[in-house]
Amino acid sequence: MKPCYASTPVRLRRGFTLVEIMVAVTLLGLLIALAVPTYRRFQRKSQNTTFVNNLRLFTQAFETYAMKYGAWPPDKDPGVIPEVDAVHTMHGEFRDVDWLAGALGGQWKWNLASGSGVHPKASISIVGVTADVAQMTDIDKMIDDGDLTTGIFKKGSVAGTYTYTVQN
């Protein structure tokens, strides 16, 4: 007995159908929609951790300077590493590039208040931060009390400026 074949010849399938491509694109879109917020959350947490670590490193460097030379370094403009002369310098205490640009934008600034009764006496500020207040509040929770109006880490009067008190 002879096998029965359909009247049309069998074609080999090459490539994908439009439906299969649409399903694959839809699944890819869903995966991306789930991954992007998670990526942004981890990126923000990484920025916050870098910011806090740099702040702690700078604080330790300034405290070491004060113990070594018996006084705080002089007040300086944003992005300028404090030094008195070639002997009394902060260079080498931390990576200069970290002082010049913060993890959240802006520049670090060393503040030394003169006169009695002025508080804080010694502090580190970040000027020109591009992060929003919610992100800075998250950082305050890591360092302090989570309130940018109280504690040792506060929002400054100028927009984008935050100050960490080293000595009150």
The number of C-alpha atoms within 13 Å of 128 and in the hemisphere containing its C-beta is 12
Between 69 and 4, the higher pLDDT residue: 69
- Measured CA to CA in angstroms, residue 90 lies from 97, 100, 126, 136 at distances of 13, 13, 17, 27
C-alpha 124: how far from its chain's center? 16
Which bin fits 162, alpha (ψ -120 to 50), beta or left (φ > 0)?
beta
The Cα 156–Cα 107 span in angstroms is 14
pTM for this predicted structure: 0.79
Question: Could you report the per-residue pLDDT of 11-67, keeping only the tens digit for each?
Answer: 666 889 999 999 999 999 999 999 899 999 999 999 999 999 999 999 999 999 999
Mean of per-residue pLDDT scores for the chain? 88
